[in-house]
């Protein structure tokens, strides 16, 4: 592996995703359980005193997400802490792959009787191992990350075996394939003794999450990525069969049906947007790898439909579009419409992948999600968290009595351990209910990585800058003074050509560009300015007026009176939002008083440059 690079630098004290990655690494590695094979505590509760972490069946499906996100965070920040936890986690997950059939199993253990429940959607829990098909696909994604980081093919036999096992347990019919909801363990899981029923799902709203397609999307994505890097045509062919099943019109259709009812053909949805987005991310990966423009366009249309329900300027789009679903997922939250933290990672992935694949330009959508609701949803404020706990009621007698031994961890150090994880039930102005599902942490962390990775790319000496965010890359460094100043400084290292995307809110007529202090007028290609003939050590500086505006937007809540938000923005950054909920039981968003100046503060940091940057 190439040598790691570190150096001291003075940079603007503005949003730095590498710092967020370090905090996320802390949060993930301190909310897993070394006494239970480094499986995550799937739930983290701040709605009672003392705060609590709890194991659930979701530990197994979602811990492989941590196994992918942890090395991604290391790529961002370069921190070597928690390697023992990371190794324990991966070793145990790999040990749960059956040598007989190659599937990842949730191993029954009497000390973990919660092994096959699934938070609010528990089926009968029986003393039998459960093959997690979703977890198998997620573990493939984690191993693909390690395959890239280690620059080795040592994981290929495991990846190939997982790919074959995912296909082996599916039900293949005509030109498509599906997984039945067996009614045992977590949804759409495979008992070691075999399927108990193989009925084809007839409606999208079946299964544990009230979604069928959610339990197929991860497999499509993992198989497509594996095929792309290995040339495994069988894996890609099977991903196509799953994709054809997922795109069946019976699983799609919006809330209001047009006369032609053709919303079913364009990915319109009527429930649980994150569950749908799992499928969309799989379909998009397949469409890109298989060069299937029809599939990619289906994803684009579905994203456009979902985004119309929220406030895309800040990255807030409600996830649960019905009171029943919300109450079931969010522990009885009083507000019936919430955004699930998982969806933030989905939005980053969909907007970036669609943009890079050429199906539209969603870089502004991505920038708005990243600068606003994504980073606001990461728990960074210890004082606010302690205030919430202080005002929470004490636990009921059933928890105080101990419950199932080993399932719950109660302690005052939960606040410290949880810093860096992500909220689950989100509204436009903050978090009103304080029960966290760690799937949201995993998706939020992976969203940070996807955003950080996409800031700049480089191919054969041609660097592309897509987002005005701080980043140290092997080919150049970016210093962003936003939102304080309209100023971006690019320090070139190895690039021979640099293309810089100019956000549409920047007035092109007032954009100034300097190369090593001299004013230049680079040519424009679409939304990018193009600088050719640059050399090592060259410094490019962009200057432009900051645009500030106030917008009013309605946060859909499903209540009689919708919440109207007044939002003050500089560029794509929310500076202030009103009304602000001052309740001590609320974790408020957009307390950004520290951003109000017009000169960016500076800080000296140690910058880390990852030698290998795995794709996702």
- Predicted confidence (pLDDT) per residue in 339-350, tens digit: 999 999 999 999
| Whole-angstrom distance, CA of residue 322 vs CA of residue 274 | 13
Q: Is 198 domain-assigned?
A: no
| Whole-angstrom distance, CA of residue 374 vs CA of residue 363 | 15
Strand, helix or coil for residue 29 = helix
- Predicted confidence (pLDDT) per residue in 50-97, tens digit: 999 999 888 988 999 999 999 999 999 999 999 999 999 999 999 999
pLDDT for residue 338: 87
pLDDT for residue 3: 65
Residue 533: pLDDT band with limits 50, 70, 90: very high
Q: Look-up: residue for tokens 């974790």? A: 587
CB 348 within 8 A of CB 366: yes
CB 302 within 8 A of CB 269: yes
- When divided into structural domains, the chain yields a total of 1
| C-alpha to C-alpha distances, 253 to 227, 271, 338, nearest whole angstrom | 31, 10, 21
Closest CA to 221 of 163, 147, 164: 163
The three state secondary structure string of 320-378 is: CCCHHHHHHHCCCCCCCCCEECHHHHHHHHHHHHHHHHCCCCCHHHHHHHHHHHHHHCE
Question: Residue 1 burial (CB < 10 Å; 0-12/13-18/19+)?
Answer: exposed
Residue 522: pLDDT band with limits 50, 70, 90: very high
| Whole-angstrom distance, CA of residue 497 vs CA of residue 458 | 9
| Whole-angstrom distance, CA of residue 375 vs CA of residue 592 | 12
Task: Please give the backbone phi and psi of residue 280, each rounded to the nearest 5 degrees, phi first.
Answer: -65, -40
CB 54 within 8 A of CB 485: no
- Predicted confidence (pLDDT) per residue in 476-511, tens digit: 999 999 999 999 999 999 999 999 999 999 999 999
Q: Is 572 domain-assigned?
A: no
Q: Is 523 domain-assigned?
A: yes
Q: Is 494 domain-assigned?
A: yes
| Number of alpha carbons in the 13 Å side-chain half-sphere of residue 79 | 18
Q: Is 113 domain-assigned?
A: no
Closest CA to 564 of 550, 551, 554: 554
pLDDT for residue 187: 83
476 forms beta bridges with 492
Strand, helix or coil for residue 554 = strand
Q: Is 514 domain-assigned?
A: yes
Mean pLDDT of 376-380: 97
447 forms beta bridges with none
Residue 114 has pLDDT above 50, yes or no: yes
Residues whose CB is less than 8 angstroms from the CB of residue 252 and which lie 6 or more positions away in sequence, other chains included: 204, 263, 264, 265, 266, 267, 268, 269, 302
Report the interhelical angle of 342-357 vs 293-307 (nearest 10°): 130
| Whole-angstrom distance, CA of residue 323 vs CA of residue 451 | 32
Percent of the chain with pLDDT over 70: 91
Closest CA to 159 of 235, 210, 106, 85: 235
Q: Is 289 domain-assigned?
A: no
CB 116 within 8 A of CB 177: no
- Predicted confidence (pLDDT) per residue in 305-340, tens digit: 999 888 999 999 988 765 444 444 444 444 458 899
Compare 139 and 255 and report the one with higher pLDDT. Answer: 139
430 token code pair = 């903050």
Strand, helix or coil for residue 442 = helix
The three state secondary structure string of 511-532 is: CEEEECCEEECCCEECCEEEEE
Closest CA to 212 of 134, 296, 305, 131: 134
Q: Is 594 domain-assigned?
A: no
Closest CA to 426 of 306, 327, 568, 330: 330
| Whole-angstrom distance, CA of residue 430 vs CA of residue 304 | 24
Residues whose CB is less than 8 angstroms from the CB of residue 445 and which lie 6 or more positions away in sequence, other chains included: 21, 24, 28, 69, 72, 73, 345, 422
- Predicted confidence (pLDDT) per residue in 162-216, tens digit: 999 999 999 999 999 999 987 677 789 899 999 988 999 998 888 777 789 999 9
Give the mean pLDDT of the chain.
91
| C-alpha to C-alpha distances, 541 to 52, 507, 608, nearest whole angstrom | 49, 16, 22
Compare 397 and 187 and report the one with higher pLDDT. Answer: 187
CATH number, residue 469: 2.60.40
| Whole-angstrom distance, CA of residue 194 vs CA of residue 197 | 9
b/e for 586-607, b at 16 or more Cβ within 10 A?
bbbbbebeebeeeebeeeebeb
- Write out the residue range of the structural domain in which residue 505 sits: 456-545
489 token code pair = 């400084």
| Whole-angstrom distance, CA of residue 420 vs CA of residue 444 | 10
Residues whose CB is less than 8 angstroms from the CB of residue 459 and which lie 6 or more positions away in sequence, other chains included: none
Closest CA to 326 of 437, 221, 491: 437
Residue 560: pLDDT band with limits 50, 70, 90: low
């Amino acid at each position: 592996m190439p040598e790691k690079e570190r150096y001291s630098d003075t940079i603007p004290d503005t949003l730095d995703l590498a710092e967020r990655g370090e905090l996320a690494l802390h949060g993930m590695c301190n909310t897993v359980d070394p006494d239970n094979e480094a499986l995550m505590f799937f739930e983290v509760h701040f709605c009672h005193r003392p705060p609590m972490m709890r194991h659930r069946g979701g530990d197994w499906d979602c811990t492989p997400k941590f196994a992918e996100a942890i090395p991604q965070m290391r790529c961002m920040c370069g921190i070597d802490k928690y390697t023992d936890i990371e190794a324990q986690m991966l070793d145990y997950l790999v040990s749960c792959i059956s040598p007989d059939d190659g599937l990842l199993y949730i191993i029954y253990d009497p000390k973990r009787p919660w092994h096959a429940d699934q938070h609010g959607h528990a089926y009968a829990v029986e003393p039998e191992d459960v093959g997690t098909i979703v977890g198998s696909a997620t573990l493939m994604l984690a191993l693909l990350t390690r395959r890239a980081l280690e620059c080795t093919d040592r994981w290929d036999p495991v990846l190939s075996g997982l790919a074959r096992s995912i296909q082996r347990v599916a039900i293949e019919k005509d030109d498509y394939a599906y997984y039945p909801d067996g009614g045992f363990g977590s949804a759409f899981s495979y008992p070691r003794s075999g399927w108990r029923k193989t009925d084809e799902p007839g409606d999208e709203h079946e299964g544990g999450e009230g979604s069928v397609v959610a339990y197929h999307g991860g497999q499509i994505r993992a198989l497509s990525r594996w095929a792309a890097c290995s040339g495994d045509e069988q894996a890609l062919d099977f991903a196509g069969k799953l994709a054809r099943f997922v795109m069946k019109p019976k699983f799609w259709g919006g809330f209001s049906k047009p006369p032609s009812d053709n919303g079913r053909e364009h990915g319109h949805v009527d429930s649980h947007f994150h569950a749908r987005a799992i499928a969309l991310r799989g379909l998009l990966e397949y469409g890109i790898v298989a060069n299937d423009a029809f599939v990619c366009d289906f994803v684009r249309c579905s994203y456009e439909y979902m985004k119309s329900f929220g406030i895309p300027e800040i990255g807030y789009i409600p996830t649960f579009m019905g009171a029943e679903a919300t109450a079931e997922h969010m522990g009885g939250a009083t507000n019936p419409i919430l955004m699930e933290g998982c969806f933030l990672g989905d939005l980053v992935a969909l907007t970036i992948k669609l943009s890079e694949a050429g199906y539209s330009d969603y870089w502004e959508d991505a920038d708005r999600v990243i600068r606003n609701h994504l980073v606001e949803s990461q728990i960074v404020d210890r004082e606010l968290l302690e205030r919430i706990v202080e005002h929470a009621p004490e636990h009921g007698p059933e928890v105080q009595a101990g419950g199932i031994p080993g399932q719950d961890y109660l302690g005052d150090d939960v606040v410290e351990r949880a810093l860096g994880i992500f909220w689950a039930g989100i509204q436009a102005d903050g978090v009103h209910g304080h029960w966290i599902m760690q799937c949201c942490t995993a998706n939020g962390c992976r969203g940070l990585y996807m955003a950080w990775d996409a800031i700049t790319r480089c191919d054969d000496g041609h660097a592309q800058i897509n987002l005005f965010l701080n980043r140290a890359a092997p080919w150049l460094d970016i210093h962003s003074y936003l939102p304080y100043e309209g100023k971006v400084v690019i320090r070139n290292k190895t690039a021979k050509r640099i293309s810089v995307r100019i956000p549409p809110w920047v007035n092109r007529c007032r954009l100034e560009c300097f190369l090593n202090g001299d004013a230049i007028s680079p040519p424009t290609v679409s939304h990018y300015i193009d600088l050719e003939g640059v050399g090592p050590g060259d410094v490019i500086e962009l200057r432009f007026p900051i645009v500030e505006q106030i917008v009013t937007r309605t946060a859909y809540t499903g209540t009689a009176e919708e919440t109207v938000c007044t939002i003050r923005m500089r560029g794509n950054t929310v500076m202030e939002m009103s009304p602000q909920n001052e309740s001590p039981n609320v974790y408020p968003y957009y307390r950004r008083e520290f951003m109000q100046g017009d000169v960016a503060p500076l800080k000296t940091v140690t910058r880390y440059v990852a030698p290998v940057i795995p794709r996702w």
